[in-house]
Amino acid sequence: MEKVKIEKNTVQETLIIPLYGRKMCSEKFPNLYQDVFAKKLCEKLDYDFSELEKKKNTFLYEFGALEAAMRQLGMVWEIKNYLDKFPNATIVNLGCGLDETGKTCDNGLCKIINIDFLEVISIRNRLICPNEREVNISCDLKNYSWMDKVDGSNGVIFFAAGVFHYFKKEEVKSLMLELSKRYTKGCLVFDAVGKLGLKLMMKTALKNMDIKDVEGYFYVNNPLKDLNWSKKIKISSKGYMLGYYDMKSSGIHFLHRLLASICDKVLKMSINRIDFE
């Protein structure tokens, strides 16, 4: 099998860290989390994982892997909950990268749409074979033309994992309001952090982009207040790290759970669900 080469310092390389984190978490904490796709994908890549391998047993890197896992577990919980009510719905992965959450939630009836930039979808197409109810779309999420390809007649749930941190507040608001107009009974699920959390998370990225403050970027301190942008939406929110599972699983240190609690309560890490009414 010919492997797909991922060059250093490219857009494609940014897909590797969360993918490797999901693989590592599956190996270290199998009773809590399983990602059957991550290991297979890593084996298909021509990429030097040595730097990541060196870090994988450190406390903070283990926590980073748990962070990626808990986010996906929360997303999966919300998607499956929605599919219980709308089994023929469409699942739309916004900024999909190499994530296969759609397949994880597949009930045999739903449709799956994965959306990302052209350079990301080109790599995804080489690595991942879509099933017969799955479509990949290359498009900038801020260009709403992709919405014309999403059928919400049987229900639709959009989810964005680790995506909106890089959007401006008004961009997220505009996107959400457009979805609420087009997709009655649809749903949007996404993760967010508070202002302090965003400052810490984006410290290096903001410096590289020569941005002095996160004020214009998307953060959520109080979901019920900060996201109350329309009478057509219903907002619910849970803690990102501990809102769905207590992380009391074999191999997880109590300090990991303590840090998880701090992330949810102090950094305001959350998974938010917006239902369009």
Tell me the C-alpha distance between 76 and 82, whole Å.
10
Which carries the bigger pLDDT value, residue 206 or residue 132? 132
- Domain assignment present for residue 9? The answer is no
Q: With contact defined as beta carbons under 8 Å apart, do 230 and 253 qualify?
A: no
| Mean of pLDDT over the chain | 92
User: Per residue in 147-193, pLDDT tens?
Assistant: 999 999 999 999 999 999 989 999 999 999 999 999 999 999 999 99
Model confidence at 210: pLDDT above 70 = no
List the one residue out of 109, 266, 147, 96 whose CA is nearest residue 195: 266
77 confidence band (pLDDT: 50, 70, 90):
very high
Confirm whether 57 is domain-assigned.
no
Q: Is the model's pLDDT at 214 over the cut of 80?
A: no
What's the rounded mean pLDDT across residues 84-106?
A: 97
Please check whether residue 17 lies inside any domain of the structure. no
Handedness of CA 39, 45, 50, 54 (dihedral sign): negative
Cα 214 from Cα 169, distance rounded (Å): 10
Domain residue limits at 225:
78-276
Of 163, 160, 135, 161, the residue nearest 148 (C-alpha):
135
Domain count, the chain: 1
Q: What is the CATH number of the domain that holds 154?
A: 3.40.50.150
- Assess if residue 55 is contained within a domain: no
What is the full DSSP assignment across 40-64?
Answer: HHHHTEE---HHHHHHTTSHHHHHH
**pLDDT for residue 206:** 55
In a domain, 11, yes or no: no
Q: How confident is the model at residue 215 (pLDDT cuts 50, 70, 90)?
A: low
Are 6 and 47 spatial neighbours (Cβ–Cβ below 8 Å)?
yes
Residue 48 resides in a domain: no
Q: Where does the pLDDT of residue 9 fall: very low under 50, low under 70, confident under 90, or very high at 90 and above?
A: confident
Is 51 domain-assigned?
no
For residue 215, being part of any structural domain is answered with yes
